[in-house]
Structures are given as structure tokens and as C-alpha cells.
Amino acid sequence: IAYDRRAHGRSSDPGRGYDYDTLADDLADVIQALELESVTVVAHSFASGEVVRYLTRHGSGRIARVVLVAPAA
């Protein structure tokens, strides 16, 4: 599953919320809405920080693996 992060791809640009807390919460909303379990999260560059923030804010209960590709964090 790939989703458009806010202001990327076909997602609208709300003009705010480009901080790690908000982006991590967006990821949590997607995972929860789709009722995903044992997720392997693959993140590239800036998104690596988003995934780390997700783990610190929401825990690893739904996450099985994390792959950071060329992380910027």
C-alpha cells in the first residue's frame, strides 16, 4: 500500500502540518483506517524521520518491520 503524504501526489496541500508529529499521525490514521497488522514500513529519505516519530508516538504494535532507504533522519 502506498499513500500520498499531504501535499504530495494527488493529495491536497493544506498549507500546514509538515512536521514529523502530524505526518506520523497521518501514517497512524492510514494504518488504523485500513486495520493493518504486521506492517512492513518502507521509508525513503525524509520519511525515515516520520516513521521513527510514528514509532515513538504510536508504538510498534502494528509494525513488524521497518526499512529505511537512504534515511535523512
- Whole-number Å distance between alpha carbons of 20 and 26: 10
Q: What confidence tens digit (pLDDT) does each residue in 7-17 have? A: 777 777 777 77
What is d(CA 63, CA 55) in angstroms, rounded to the nearest whole number? Answer: 9
What was the pLDDT predicted at 72? 86
pTM listed for this prediction: 0.86
Q: Which three cell numbers stand for residue 20?
A: 514529523
Reply yes or no on whether the pLDDT at 6 is more than 80: no
pLDDT tens-place string over residues 18-73:
899 999 999 999 999 999 999 999 999 989 999 999 999 999 999 999 999 999 85
| Residues 24/53, Cβ–Cβ less than 8 Å | yes
Residue 42: CB atoms within 10 A of its CB come to 14
